[in-house]
Chains A and B, each alone.
Chain A
């Protein structure tokens, strides 16, 4: 372990790295299925897997608070919202042949090109950079709480206002129109 830390290399991965890669592959696979499956509800469920995988990666990067927030917000509420949305828009249950638009080929080309470019650039830039994950956890709840309420209070409060505005906006938008003014629509 010490030797590996002193001279780390791709061919001698640590345990954390192995776990990271395995979870990463699972996450990626879930994401790919999520964007390609023809069953809309399944896509939402696969998204849960992918987001959960990301949460595990956060844990592995010692950012535990973020990981739990990820689970709470994304897996807990966002996906539930999405499922609600699917149901409210009467999304078909089961395989729907027209889940993908005619733009698929172009989308694939752009996505592959973007992936290639990004991976190339990232690998080229960080080929020999290592994260020290053995020290004090970078994102423990205590640390995050202190830093959030000491240095980031103002943006935090601003975001609370933003959330309130979003709440009001969502209510206004999704409210059914009253019967008194049917001519408006």
Chain B
């Protein structure tokens, strides 16, 4: 089988996930898009592992690990989103702008949860 097929599919899936991360407003949908990107990477790992006939099966082992990490990540991520939602009444990413220089919302909300806005950012950067 031509290696370009899985590689191109992975690249396209990654880009679709990327679009989702950048364009979606709901934090849970952003997390879903991150999953898409992770899957694209996994597909690459498996394809190259098969192509190289790696005796250690490093690609497949790494894929398994990525799946595990992704599961952990979605668990924590959802917990954070829930917490943000509980504090803010909203889980929209573009409304969590406490770190703005002159935020449109009250920048120092005493009820604010400091980790709320930054956590999705870290997630997204890790995914990127």
Chain A interfacial positions (CB closer than 8 Å to B)? 8, 10, 14, 16-17, 20-21, 24, 27-28, 31-32, 34-35, 40, 43-44, 47, 50-51, 54, 57-58, 60-63, 65-66, 69-70, 73-74, 77-78, 81-82, 84-86, 88-91, 98-104, 106-108, 110-112, 114-115, 118-119, 122-123, 126-127, 129-133, 135, 138-139, 143-144, 147-148, 151-152, 155, 159, 162-163, 165-167, 169-171, 173-174, 185
Contact between A173 and B80, CB atoms less than 8 A apart: yes
Contact between A20 and B1, CB atoms less than 8 A apart: yes
Find chain B residues with CB under 8 A from A108 CB. Answer: 19, 23
Contact between B6 and A139, CB atoms less than 8 A apart: no
Whether A139 touches B50, Cβ cut-off 8 Å, given contacts A31-B16, A173-B83, is: yes
Find chain B residues with CB under 8 A from A163 CB. Answer: 68, 71-72
Q: B22 contacts the other chain (Cβ, under 8 Å)?
A: yes
What is the CB-to-nearest-CB distance from B29 to chain A, in angstroms, rounded to a whole number?
6
Task: Flag B90-102 by CB within 8 Å of A: 1 or 0 each.
Answer: 0111100000000
What is the CB-to-nearest-CB distance from B90 to chain A, in angstroms, rounded to a whole number?
9
What is the CB-to-nearest-CB distance from B84 to chain A, in angstroms, rounded to a whole number?
9
Task: Flag B1-34 by CB within 8 Å of A: 1 or 0 each.
Answer: 1111111110111111111111111101101110
Query: Which one, A40, A43, A173, contacts B76 given CB within 8 A?
Result: A173
- The secondary-structure label for the interface of chain B is helix
Interface size class of B (residues with CB under 8 A): 35 or more
Whether A123 touches B14, Cβ cut-off 8 Å, given contacts A62-B50, A66-B63, A129-B51, is: no
Chain B interfacial positions (CB closer than 8 Å to A)? 1-9, 11-26, 28-29, 31-33, 35-36, 39, 42-43, 46-47, 49-51, 53, 56-57, 60-61, 63-65, 67-76, 78-83, 85, 87, 91-94, 111
Query: Which one, B22, B47, B56, B85, contacts A89 given CB within 8 A?
Result: B85
Nearest residue, chain B, Cβ from A78: B74
- The secondary-structure label for the interface of chain A is helix
